[in-house]
Structure 1
């Protein structure tokens, strides 16, 4: 498969589902090779050896009758690195690092295996909506296939050994991306999410650790893996996610009952701006698309053809330039972003006019 074709594809997690709150589910497994130091103390020669060993296995592996395609990140330009980060296929730290490293991707991006990130391997499965159990099943299948060919660092007393102590044990990080405009608008989000740290969960922004919660979107994940089984981690996260969803839906009901005109004004202003704006910054676009998504979820606005996640990702700086196949300065990006979104909104405008 041509690299350009692979990177231009919409990722599986961007598919629209019936879930009004949970955008995506992810499971990530941290694994290291037995005979090599962790990446942060690995010399360039050792890093090259790790990439060579792992990439060869990845090129030959097949999971659920699917092959993955290996890409060495040293072969990519800065925009291509951005595309991978913006689609959540690699971490920002891997995209910004140097040396021997890479990523293997399934054709629909549901599988992604990072090589020489914080650990030698980061096995990731990312699916749309609330699919934690299915995500874990697929990740386990890929992990089993890799472990059949690679000698992972494992101890009976500790489990899988990882560069960060919080990942020791199962090496599993499970997370959900949730869309919480109701809680933000009603000023309840800090109260609801602030309690999660006491439950052993971490809350981060759209692009993980250190990122901001643009577009009313948050990532919720487990913090510790040592001493917990994979089933315990997933069950706990799923239960807490259910409570978050309940709080968000109640907040939306509250807005509809107590502040209906304020709510309608917010979502219609967002739709109108998206349909007519000639310049849109990335941050403004995410915020407006979030309010627009809220409007369609509660039935105030007609739905648009292109999904919420798809529009957010396609209008990020890297993806926008990659789709248009040319470099853009900040002003040009704002202009092209607005143009792309206006086109996506055209179908909704036609629906309103016909009605």
Structure 2
């Protein structure tokens, strides 16, 4: 039976709020694993995935098949989960401070006495995961194909995880600098060279509206199968056969909205476009044909993400595409710098 290792952090009023966490104890022969979802509190899909995965882990533990210890945090962010405004959750940033919940974990973890509630929460979450060999952080994009965000040091080993999760795209990154949860956990590994048991990744589970039993059952089964293949669970599973395309982050083509207006997509997720091909348009002033702006692909590739809303502000990311060469707009840094 899973051990309840939940902990509390202060909210804006200083009152304690609970972070639910459970640990399934293995026999010590396999890797230690940390699984969490919804660091960005409005990214819901991973919560359901881990909710469905936990009974599978409980059965493996009861049957004596669990070789590694697995910690599961299905709803990691109690600060963001209550930020409802006009019927919509605002879970990417902490309203009181403007802090992106998945930035600055490194600074928070290094503090003896965190000075904000976000820093206190971040430090506690890093401490919980700091001894893990495997760290998987479950997120979602606006609207997206499922994809894996992976440091180069874990490629090509990460192909098996992407295949198990039916993710056709893996975005490979080298330099972060934002202090994300994943980056903070793997920094000590990178200094020492790591080992074959260690593995970390951010899993983007489609888009924020893709929350269903069908998707979550598939994803929970994929995670379970990968844990079997990684030596965490003693159960034979056939390796997944799934096409996986690795893409350097600099080759991802990000298209920004040149103006605000009604956003009309002419291509859907997964569609291939040629360089210069139109994929969307923005109508700045409905009723005025001269206000319509056509958006063209910078280079040939597949549409991986799309903006969720259909009224887009100027400068917002409209879509991201794979590419065959480094984007002319690429200047290093993050895929999503905010």
Q: TM-score, normalised by structure 2?
A: 0.28
Richer in strand (by share): 2
Richer in helix (by share): 1
Q: TM-score, normalised by structure 1?
A: 0.28
Higher relative contact order (CA 8 A, sep 6+): 1
